[in-house]
Chains A and B, each alone.
Chain A
């Protein structure tokens, strides 16, 4: 077991208790802030090398959003760590009942390549805030960022408690043989299954942030130009390599017709007449992904874009019209700058289409009519939902971020990350006196004692329910 030594070293640090004091956690979190500040240029450069990530995007997702999470955490850490006192019943009025927030121990964070800093750092913030030690396993596919993390993070964090492990599938498999006290995984459903199966051997709880095909319904009543801009922005951000990107559009044939020029206009506004020359449009992360995406272009008909360049791993912002459910683009999560449009007759058909498929990580609905947005919300299920925009629901740290079914289990962001890495221990500190009050619970059991117990512990109905 090649990682046994590392894991036991971290476990020894954990058992020493050094990650428990608030000051320690604060110091580590502030060090993470310095990492983001000091290494900002390196991060922008590494992510550009890895997937042509535009600096504008990299700054927003890898630096700004991460700093937001850091600040929310630092601002609230003291409050989150405190014991939470709870309501007591009659018998316990002199006792103290509270939830103690406890770290789990040594946690493992496995991050993917598409937002390679953000997707290890935001979970790590919660893990540290909650008092754990952590092993970080960045993706080997975003190799420049992986190298940056492996080489520089140790200069900022306590190496007794936080370590980076690099490598690919074989290394991750060996790493997963060890016992961890929590595993946080972001990646594909297929690998999510492997992680959860490995976790089951040690009864390790997990959070799995996975993916799927995020539908985007556009009703007939809407401001076509604004819709086109918001959808194009969400779809082509990071060249489509975003787990919450709108994966495909559902609309009527009339709307498809109206949307096309609006989408063309939006793409032109964002990236100019030749997106290949725009510094604001990314590239595909690997040859394997590029080839996979290129094969999807034979779905429906290419209405916008469609150009590719293998040497640069460039795929133009592309819109496919009249795509059939049986087409290649509708068989897997796209994860690229291709937007298929599937034509449906009406909202009911759109909802049925969505509900016939695995529950997605995100779901989008556009309409000027709020009733329509609400109907789509009420009649479908997804990790998260955004009405009349894309991606934005995950930028609010007060909203939990996570999937459902195949798109994931668990949630994080803001306090939810802290809670994810915290064991909520129910504690009751009773009085040694007043033993007489306990008498009804002791044998010999009698009906009379039962009556007393019932009145002491019963939750009384407050009156008729106003719903009926």
Chain B
């Protein structure tokens, strides 16, 4: 407890010193992070391989590239983001200065997740630094190699007092959450999200919760099935299905179910070869607990493809389930694994109804040649974000906020949205001490005639 208090206390004192306020300081820290990613690339890739069996190019393109992009954008845009934003004035304030002043919040807590363990601590960290905050980072203990590496590397490159790393599991995180922070960004499950928000409530700390859910993927009969299935295969089996915005399950007409399976089967061969297990590009389940959990979801299901497993290496082959019942276990929780259930629906109406009966997902996907159908699906459903005719890609559009809604999350970040999330927008009105005559209109003694002026 004391150790946590000390770490947070040190960060707060360092923040109060004011040294994060000048933009030069923040840019210097961001550039140091950039050097870290470049100089320690080998070590970072090795940690990701050890944690999730990610190959070099896989880890680089899905984690490091995103981090570098965020860094370059932050350094470039900080001066314009941080500049006071002058606002439209009215008659009474015409002679005054009215603007929004962007200020840091103070000490930010970033709680990372294990599936993209480097990306999901670095991106929030970058946003928090850019906005001028001190940051305490708590990487996920489940991806232990990356956690250890982050704890080793950050103090080598960044201001040690302002930016601290705390490692550990649930007990350490619980302790950490008793401290006061000025914003908490949490990535993980809804179950723990509730705990984080309840802890934050004690200090009236604003939170950004990036959680998950079952992201539906509707495939219309009228679409280029080969292309659709290739894109879906890519998004579903990336990182062995352990992606918060992966298409969780498919909704389609029974008449194309078989073709969907065939197309995905063909694509899998293209991607991973005849023997998936020996492909360097196919990942593993993070640990035994999740391995067993996912295995449990296969019980009683009609396996159209895959189903092979190897407990020792936490390997689960790319799997497709056909004619899945909406009431089955695999349709109750976020799968977070390489298992793709297909639930048949007779129409887009049925699909929309199916989706709306469930909690709002983090992502939603629809494949169709019909623009009107796509517009309809967007208009009649809700989700954190969505992509039509592809998967995952809305998360890499620089101008789009990334976040959930309902049980899938609250708040958003990435790019400008990170800066906004980690800043306080302070309204400022600066008047003159003269021109009192204008103020006389509002002072008592009042009369209704005055009011109508």
Contacts and interface: CB of A to CB of B under 8 A. Distances in A.
A261 to B, nearest CB: 17
Contact of A392 (B92, B399, B436): B92
Contacts of A86: 397-400
A428 B230 contact: no
A230 interface: yes
Contact of B389 (A59, A432, A443): A432
A430 B389 contact: yes
A105 B341 CA distance: 29
Nearest to A181: B406
Contact of A424 (B57, B401, B427): B401
Contact of B443 (A97, A270, A433): A270
Contacts of A406: 204
Interface stretch (B162-170, B258-266, B376-384): B376-384
B356 interface: yes
A429 B387 CA distance: 6
Interface string B153-167: 000000000000000
Interface stretch (A121-129, A146-154, A325-333, A455-463): A455-463
Interface residues of B, number: 112
A400 B448 CA distance: 29
B204 A196 contact: yes
B347 interface: no
A428 B445 contact: no
Contact of A197 (B201, B227, B374, B393): B201
A435 to B, nearest CB: 5
A78 interface: no
Interface in A178-231: 181, 189, 192-193, 196-197, 199-201, 203, 205, 208, 210, 222-223, 225-227, 229-230
Interface residues of A, number: 115
Contact of B197 (A99, A199, A450): A199
**Majority secondary structure, A binding face:** mixed
Nearest to B388: A429
Interface of A: 15, 17, 54-57, 59-60, 64, 86-89, 92, 97, 99-100, 102, 104, 181, 189, 192-193, 196-197, 199-201, 203, 205, 208, 210, 222-223, 225-227, 229-230, 233, 269-272, 278-281, 355, 366-368, 370, 373, 377, 381-389, 392-401, 404-406, 408-411, 423-433, 435, 438, 441-447, 449-450, 453-454, 457-462, 465-468
B111 interface: no
Interface in B328-375: 356, 367, 369, 374
B436 A387 contact: no
Interface stretch (B5-13, B35-43, B73-81, B136-144): B73-81
Interface string B188-215: 0010011001101110111001010000
A363 to B, nearest CB: 9
**Majority secondary structure, B binding face:** mixed
Given A203-B190, A432-B367, A467-B27, 11 more contacts: A56-B451, A97-B399, A199-B197, A199-B201, A386-B430, A392-B431, A405-B204, A425-B385, A428-B386, A429-B374, A468-B27
A392 B442 CA distance: 11
Given A200-B197, A392-B92, A449 B57 contact: yes
B171 interface: no
Contacts of A280: 444-446
A460 B273 CA distance: 35
B277 interface: no
Contacts of B98: 393, 396, 398-399
A203 B194 contact: yes
Contacts of A385: 101, 426-429
B69 interface: yes
